[in-house]
Chain A
Amino acid sequence: MSIQPKTFRTTPFSIAAWIWAASLVVAPLLYIVSISFLSRGPYGGVQSPLTLTNYTRMTDGSMALTLLLSLGRSVALAGFSTVLCIFVGFPLALFLVFRAGRWRNALFFLLIIPFWTNFLIRTYAWMVILSDNGWLNHVLEILGLGPQYLHWLFTPQAVLLGMFYNYLPYMAMSLYVSVEKLDTKLLEAAADLGAGPVRRFFQVTLPLSVPGLVAGSIMVFIPSLGEFVIPDILGGGTNLFVGNLLAQQFLTVRHWPFGSALSVILIILIGACLVALEKVTKGHSEDLIA
């Protein structure tokens, strides 16, 4: 008699799991990688023969410049918004964990609520606030800082503000989770040994929050890299980011092979960022053990 297994059979689940992984994760990605080596068809489709022109096109003259500029802008924007989110989200997380007391849960839930309104609607609200005839200029006028109407909307600053606004809760939440796990005895010990608040922050709280910082940065930086809606609405589509360039190639220009080649570059860039961030966490945890 064979031994009765101590759990249920997992084969049926595995079959469904691999069907999902193969057909909805791997296949679409492999498909755009492969069409990035094809040529554009007469009606916007794709056709053979195999070619490298989509990649070589990125290195010549004006296209190289456009691409480099948009990549640079995207990386700079994503970097800036990540740093801004850390600078505001960290104090917020510290406050929620250490100072908020009985308001802690309520404040945490208030952080989630803006998430539940549509992302476009949130961004549209900023459009209303920042427009030339908008609320910000009205308030400035009332405060006596007007009446010369300032331009806020359709500037790079407006795009940065929109990114910061939309991604701040992600950063604050992942830092909150990390700070919440922090053993307060370590802070007490540091205080007993004579470390001031600044030193306690830099030598205890900050190193122990690195996992939260990394997770938060992944949640802010990676989606920011491909963001194209916020630049489109708050930036007026004037400054092209990689996301806008991609959307344009697929929807307006309808050059799918070139668009695919661009997305392959974006995927490689993101992969490199993820590997780098993983290195940071790994190296860091080894530091702590040593």
Chain B
Amino acid sequence: MSTIRRWASGFGVFLIYVFLFLPMVVLVALSFNNASRGTQWQGFTFSWYEKLSENQAILEALSRSLEIAVEATLLSAFLGLCVGISMSRTHGFRKTILQKLATLPIVLPEIVQGLSLLCFFVWLTIPLGEFSVVIAHTAFGTAYVATLVKARLTAMDPLLEEAAADLGATQSKILVKITLPQLWPAMVSGMLMVFTLSFDDFIVAFFTAGVGATTLPLKIYSMLKFGVSPEVNALSALILCASFLLVTMAFWNQNKRERKFEI
């Protein structure tokens, strides 16, 4: 009885994973499908990958998205560090307010953030383009980094800073030699998160990009709306491969680190 139940639950979970990965399998299969229209299998081809490498519009959107993601990540890292530190080191009323404000960009739906920033930029006559998208992504990215930094600071031993001060370290030395190195893991995961969110973001960019700055998700959206070309499949398959590699590397790295701690 219990073995049957074990197998049944395992099979159920297997089905959930099939469901989760079905779209990915479909996309990879279609990226090799020799048919310009329709989804029926017409034979194997590499031509969509070749066409993709020649599609200037997509490549331009890709590099613009990467650029925006890098800039937004760096800005969010800096501001998130500041917000995280002041959230955990100030007290009372100001701490509560800052904490509430820092969760707002995480809980508000992207559409509300996107359109409020759109109105705000137009009001301030900030031109809509790459710059406005970077600022918009920094608006929510900072909140994610800050949350992680704050969690790390709360878990940190305050005695380390005191010990450094007792041993005569100056304030800037404490910050650079004691606090920042300990915040590094939180900063790295925060930055990875912002990079992914920014690179993947459609809704906020949809409102704040204006006409000129087509990011990759915006390009994909217009392709979905106005005629799909199988090049999108090839592109998605490539993005999927890259993410799979990155996640596997992170996973492998973490496993290795855990094993080292066991010894």
Contacts and interface: CB of A to CB of B under 8 A. Distances in A.
Interface in B216-263: 216-217, 220-221, 224, 228, 232, 236, 239-240, 243-244, 246-248, 251, 254-255
B164 to A, nearest CB: 9
B90 A14 contact: yes
Nearest to B221: A120
A203 to B, nearest CB: 20
A261 interface: no
Contacts of B74: none
A106 B251 contact: yes
Interface string A227-264: 11100010000000001001100110000100110010
B23 to A, nearest CB: 3
A110 interface: yes
A32 B116 CA distance: 6
A27 interface: yes
A202 interface: no
A4 to B, nearest CB: 6
A188 B40 CA distance: 53
A268 to B, nearest CB: 11
Interface residue range, chain B: 35 or more
A216 to B, nearest CB: 13
Contact of B239 (A112, A117, A223): A117
B192 to A, nearest CB: 11
A128 B104 contact: no
Interface in B137-152: 138-139, 142-143, 146
Given A17-B79, A267-B112, A135 B162 contact: no
Interface string A180-192: 0000000000000
Interface in B161-185: 161-162, 165-166, 171-172, 174-175, 179
A135 B20 CA distance: 16
B57 interface: no
Interface in A122-152: 122, 124-129, 131, 133-135, 138
Contacts of B116: 28-29, 31-32, 263
By secondary structure, the B interface counts as helix
Given A127-B224, A267-B108, A267-B112, A105 B236 contact: no
Given A114-B20, A243-B109, 17 more contacts: A7-B179, A8-B171, A14-B86, A17-B82, A17-B86, A26-B101, A31-B119, A95-B12, A107-B17, A113-B247, A118-B220, A121-B232, A124-B220, A125-B24, A168-B16, A246-B111, A246-B115
Interface of B: 6, 9-10, 12-13, 16-17, 19-24, 26-27, 30, 38-40, 78-79, 81-83, 85-87, 89-90, 98, 101-102, 104-105, 107-113, 115-120, 122-123, 135, 138-139, 142-143, 146, 158, 161-162, 165-166, 171-172, 174-175, 179, 196, 200, 202-203, 207, 216-217, 220-221, 224, 228, 232, 236, 239-240, 243-244, 246-248, 251, 254-255
